[in-house]
Amino acid sequence: MIKTIRLTMAQALVKYLSAQRVDIDGKVHPLFEGVFAIFGHGNVAGLGEALYQSREQLPTFRAHNEQGMAHAAIAFAKANNRRRMMACTTSIGPGAANMVTAAALAHVNRLPVLFLPGDTFANRTPDPVLQQVECFGDPTVTTNDCFRPVSRYFDRITRPEQIITSLPVAVQTLTDPANCGPVTLSLCQDVQAEAYDYPESFFAPKVHYMRRQAADERELQTAVELLANAEKPLLIAGGGVHYSEATEELKKFAEQTGIPVTETQAGKGALLWDSPNNAGAIGVTGSEAANQLAQQADVVLAVGTRLQDFTTASRTLFSNPDVKLIQLNVAGFDAIKHNAFSLVTDARLGLQVLGQQLSDWHISETWQQQAQALTTQWNRYYDEITATTVETKTGLPSDAQVLGAVKRASGKKDIVVCAAGGLPGELHKLWRTDDIKGYHLEYGYSCMGYEIAGGMGVKMANPEREVIVVVGDGSYMMLNSELATSVMLGHKITVVVLDNRGFGCINRLQNATGGASFNNLLENCQSVDEGAPKIDFAAHAAAMGALSEKVDSLDDLEAAVGRARAADRSYVITLDTDPFCTSEGGFWWDVAVPEVSERTEVNQARENYTAGKQNQPY
């Protein structure tokens, strides 16, 4: 006879999550670090009581904003190369809806997080319950249906026994290298409290490990032949290199073949910045060196990247008419993009077998010298643009100068975190990665507000390392509440706030497309006669329990970063910066310009846009 244990659905769910383990380099860890929770009437009685009973096995962390806590959970998973993760629970209604943006972020970036929003009553007795969104034509629709398009797996639990089949699929999705992404289990609040006799075997500890898919022989031979016959090959390292933990294999392959390596935002750090094979950032936010090589390349090997439009410059960057693209990716969905030759395999295994098959192959000395000369030239430009002596339009420091100062004051093991605005572009081009996990950017969804919460998640994953968040005033104002959470939980981060009084990045894009400065910089927004208030970010941070200071020069910034690194709790540094200046590099990006306008600048921008469109293949 099958042995059973009587538990509520919520208790069984928590017990199952607590039993999941992961093997990382021969050491077994809990798969779930814990659960971020903001309780409400849809989850406090059921799941809340279950989490309380299991708080020693599965810790619960209280946050201040639902989207923020989900960002922290996602950052934790990214910092752990998707090997470990967290869950997030909210009440029904606005609490759940607040997490949908984070679910989209995780979905775009292929990052695992388990969402456990409360839901309406399965029995519908109290309908419409508080916070219930009623669909007039379908009573089964709730707020949580918003999670469907941004979840890899979605299930609404309307019976307590349904988790017996749903939870294993959820965890399999979260740990699958090809299908990895967010999972949503929508938990009807009455069902959370219902009891069922669950099989004891359901809660047996299970150890997960990374599944590595080998390459198909025919696809492998095609890739080998293309590379062996290439005169100007180029490699693009994406986030999959990190998630496969293939950085050492990438280094060996690059050194063995001499192939120049460029980096996407997610792939940055796969090679250290001073590697002789590292040609730098590629694409719209790329360096001159990498982009010039990409324009000439006749074979491009893309490893672990979905090649979104910032990487390909909206399909205009690879302009050699004979260029051939190889997509080495564990996900077949990504491997076929851009009419590529697919090589569906794990990045580590793929690079290993390519290295074996191409053991006698090396790129030409001419191509190697050209790549190194362009990289040397770019490194000289880095020294110039990050120097304290560069003058800007306003006399205030540029983003590049701020990043140079922060870099000089930071340690080699420090981790920089950012997400949106102009800073990701400057970081992609200019941040010198001294450690393979020293660069943490969320730029698949480019979500303002990720930065501080994400920084806390990175710190939770790396408690022994310093985490430096660089964030614009716009993103800070979007979502800063998890700064208080970082103080409360003791996860110390350093936050550098660049105050250019508005959305400087979008103002520059607005001007570049012929538009007048409007509704981006605070000086160009509708406001009272006195203008928008000058935000005292240091005082605001202090009010949330952080240490803080405002600095007025780059030298003072370097000194302040030193003080922050030595501090015992989260530390915020703010300074005024120039909203207009940006560094060189980059490439064309498809941003549609109006065909008709009264502005001469827009009409000229439209002509330039139409000309740029001619470089796209279709």
The domain that holds 138 is classified in CATH as: 3.40.50.970
- Residue from 37, 173, 225 nearest 116 by CA: 37
Out of 378, 410, 441, a domain closes at 378
Buried b (16+ CB within 10 A) or exposed e, 585-605: bbbbbeeebeeeeeeeebeeb
For residue 49, the enclosing domain spans 4-208
Rounded CA-CA distance 259/371 in Å is 9
Residue 264 domain flag: yes
pLDDT at residue number 509: 95
Q: Which residue has the higher pLDDT, 1 or 580?
A: 580
Out of 173, 208, 243, a domain closes at 208
- Residue from 65, 53, 56, 74 nearest 7 by CA: 53
pLDDT at residue number 441: 97
pLDDT at residue number 510: 95
pLDDT, one tens digit per residue, over 129-149 is 999 999 999 999 999 999 999
Both tokens of residue 148? 């469907």
**Angle at CA 138, nearest 5°, toward 135 and 144?**
65
Confidence of residue 1 (pLDDT cuts 50, 70, 90): confident
User: What is the separation, in whole angstroms, between the first and last Cα of the chain?
Assistant: 64
Rounded CA-CA distance 70/84 in Å is 15
Burial class (CB in 10 A: 0-12, 13-18, 19+), 125: exposed
Alpha helices in 121-246 (DSSP H): 163-175, 189-192, 217-228, 239-243
Full 3-state SS string of 104-149? HHHHHHCCCCEEEEEECCCCCCCCCCCCCCCCCCCCCCCHHHHHHH
Rounded CA-CA distance 438/273 in Å is 11
Question: Do 407 and 511 share a domain, yes or no?
Answer: yes
CATH number at 303 reads: 3.40.50.1220
Residue 384 domain flag: no
Chain CA centroid to CA 429, Å = 17
Residue 282 domain flag: yes
Question: Do 413 and 554 share a domain, yes or no?
Answer: yes
Residue 515 domain flag: yes
Task: For residue 119, give the amino acid letter.
Answer: D
- pLDDT mean over 207-228: 97
Residue 253 domain flag: yes
Which residues are 85's β-sheet partners? 32
Q: Give the H/E segment covering residue 233.
A: strand 233-237
Question: Do 240 and 291 share a domain, yes or no?
Answer: yes
Question: Do 137 and 232 share a domain, yes or no?
Answer: no
Both tokens of residue 570? 């989260």
Question: Do 426 and 569 share a domain, yes or no?
Answer: yes
Rounded CA-CA distance 308/587 in Å is 14
Question: Do 20 and 165 share a domain, yes or no?
Answer: yes
User: Which residue's entry shows tokens 């009807």?
Assistant: 188
pLDDT, one tens digit per residue, over 75-105 is 999 999 999 999 999 999 999 999 999 999 9
Q: How many domains does the chain have?
A: 4
Residue 582 domain flag: no
Out of 141, 173, 208, a domain closes at 208
Pseudo-torsion of CA 369, 372, 374, 375, nearest 10°? 180
pLDDT, one tens digit per residue, over 534-566 is 999 999 999 999 999 999 999 999 999 999 999
pLDDT, one tens digit per residue, over 290-314 is 999 999 999 999 999 999 999 999 9
Question: Do 40 and 183 share a domain, yes or no?
Answer: yes
Count how many residues are written for the chain: 618
Contact 226, 79 (CB under 8 A): no
In a 3-state reduction of DSSP, which class is residue 571? strand
Question: Do 325 and 444 share a domain, yes or no?
Answer: no
Question: Do 333 and 280 share a domain, yes or no?
Answer: yes
Full 3-state SS string of 313-370? CCCCCCCCCCCEEEEEECCHHHHCHHHCEEEECCHHHHHHHHHHHCCCCCCCHHHHHH
| pLDDT exceeds cutoff 90 at 390 | no
Percentage of the chain modeled with pLDDT above 70: 100
Chain CA centroid to CA 160, Å = 34
Residue 586 domain flag: no
- Residue from 187, 173, 130 nearest 11 by CA: 187
Question: Do 77 and 171 share a domain, yes or no?
Answer: yes
This model's pTM is above 0.95:
yes
In a 3-state reduction of DSSP, which class is residue 405? helix
Residue 585 domain flag: no
Question: Do 88 and 193 share a domain, yes or no?
Answer: yes
Question: Do 23 and 126 share a domain, yes or no?
Answer: yes
